[in-house]
Amino acid sequence: MSQPLIRGGVLIDDGFAEAFPMKATRVLVTAHNDTWAHHAAMAATGLATSVIACGCEAGIERTLGPDETPDGRPGVSLLFFAMSGKELAKQLERRIGQCVLTCPTTAAYAGLDEGEAVALGKNLRFFGDGWQISKVIGGRRYWRIPVMDGEFVVQETTAVVKAVGGGNLLLLARDTDAALAAAEAAVKAMQRLPNVIMPFPGGVVRSGSKVGSRYPALGASTNDAFCPSLRGLSPKSELSADTRCVMEVVIDGLTADDVAAAMRAGLQAGIERGAAGGLLRISAGNYGGKLGPFHFHLHQLLGEKAAA
């Protein structure tokens, strides 16, 4: 039996996070100023925490300066993930149409060049009622749709690529304050990296789930093994008496390497807080390897530190 791995007084489980294949795209939203770019971004990525019931998972990847956008205006980079290219295309059309086209001064552009092309503005152009105008610049087609503040400019298509969803860390702490602080630190560290999002509110989820339920209509249900109120009641409980709060961070990335990098950053942020900050243990959610082919082993993510 291997020796327990403890860093900063925090027990690191000898387990893995289990992730699964998804499809993803990046959309760049720009606006007259940063305020309106973020209004559009927040609306377009709303109700997109989990494919279990939201259709897609989405979030703000990062804020863009005028020197990073196609039209030289402030902007935001958004990532969208779904279980299929068809579902992703449907979600894009609804969200860009209802939340970006409608938002004052915005424009929308593809953020990926390589991949399967799906409609971004191709169908939204019909909102122009025949007044829309097409422009081809650098081999890319854009649509100019007349609206009441001028024009909504949108690229005709965006690229969809293979991606990875469901990387995760479980942060077990002595109380709510400690769990929140550890989760916030982990998310902040992950947000510094490209190509990933943490789709839940603030990047954190308290309602971690397991596959299946005693109720046949539900495909997922509460992860009773990590619910403090069920310690001593659930035969699957994994919590010690001093663990009173658990928070989960879920990561979606464009590649497995991106998810691994984000999980590593989150692990290191948790270790830096350490037991002195109330973090007792870091674990990860998996389903015995039956859910997805991507397995992110916590000890391996720590690399040389795990072997020390």
DSSP structure string for the chain: -PPPEEETTEEE-S-EEEEEEEEEEEEEEE-SSHHHHHHHHHHHTTT-S-TTTSS-EEEEEEEE-GGGSTTSS-EEEEEEEESSHHHHHHHHHHHIIIIITTSTT-EEEES--SSEEEESSTTGGGGGTT--EEEEETTEEEEEEEETTEEEEEESEEEEEEEEEEEEEEEEESSHHHHHHHHHHHHHHHHTSTTEE--SGGG-BS--EEE--SSTT-SEEE-GGG-GGGTTTSTT----TT--EEEEEEEEESSHHHHHHHHHHHHHHHHHHTGGGTEEEEE----TT-S-SEEEEHHHHTTHHHH-
Final residue in a domain of this structure, among 161, 193, 208? 161
pLDDT in tens, 195-249: 999 999 999 999 999 989 999 999 899 999 999 999 999 999 999 999 999 999 9
CA separation (Å) from 60 to 146, 169, 253? 27, 20, 12
Quote the domain boundaries for residue 98.
23-161
Examine the domain organization and report whether 51 and 72 are in the same domain. Answer: yes
Instruction: Look at residues 161, 179, 194 and tell me which one is the last residue of a structural domain.
Output: 161
Residue 154's nearest CA partner among 169, 133, 131, 178 is 133
Assess contact for 17 and 165: CB atoms under 8 A: no
Of 135, 161, 187, which residue sits at a domain end? 161
C-alpha 66/C-alpha 117 separation (Å) is: 26
Kind of pairing between the strands at 140-147 and 133-137:
antiparallel
State yes or no: pLDDT of 308 exceeds 90: no
Q: Is residue 290 scored above 90 in pLDDT?
A: no
With bands split at pLDDT 50, 70 and 90, how would you rate the model's confidence at 289? confident
Query: CA 69, CA 48: separation in Å to the nearest integer?
Result: 24
Nearest CA to 179 out of 187, 169, 171 is that of 171
Q: Judge if 127 and 116 occupy the same domain.
A: yes
Residues 206 and 105 in one domain: no
Q: Is the domain of 117 the same as that of 177? A: no
How many domains does one find in the chain?
Answer: 2
Q: What is the pLDDT, as a whole number, of residue 227? A: 98
Least confident of 90-94, 106-110, 135-139, 304-308: 304-308
Average pLDDT over residues 255-270: 98
Q: Give the separation between CA 70 and CA 84, rounded to whole angstroms.
A: 28
Instruction: Output the domain CATH number for residue 180.
Output: 3.30.70.520
Do residues 68 and 82 share a domain? yes
Based on the domain organization, do 143 and 188 belong to the same domain? Answer: no
* Co-location of 138 and 253 in the same domain: no
Kindly state the average pLDDT of the residues 288-306: 85
- How far apart (Å, rounded) are the C-alpha atoms in residues 130 and 294? 47
Dist CA 232 CA 241 (whole Å): 9
What is the arithmetic mean of pLDDT over 128-133?
A: 98
Residue 71 to residue 153: CA distance in whole angstroms: 10
Six token digits for residue 286: 């998996």
Whether 152 and 199 map to the same domain: the answer is: no
Same domain, 294 and 173: yes
pLDDT bin (cut points 50, 70, 90) of residue 2 is low
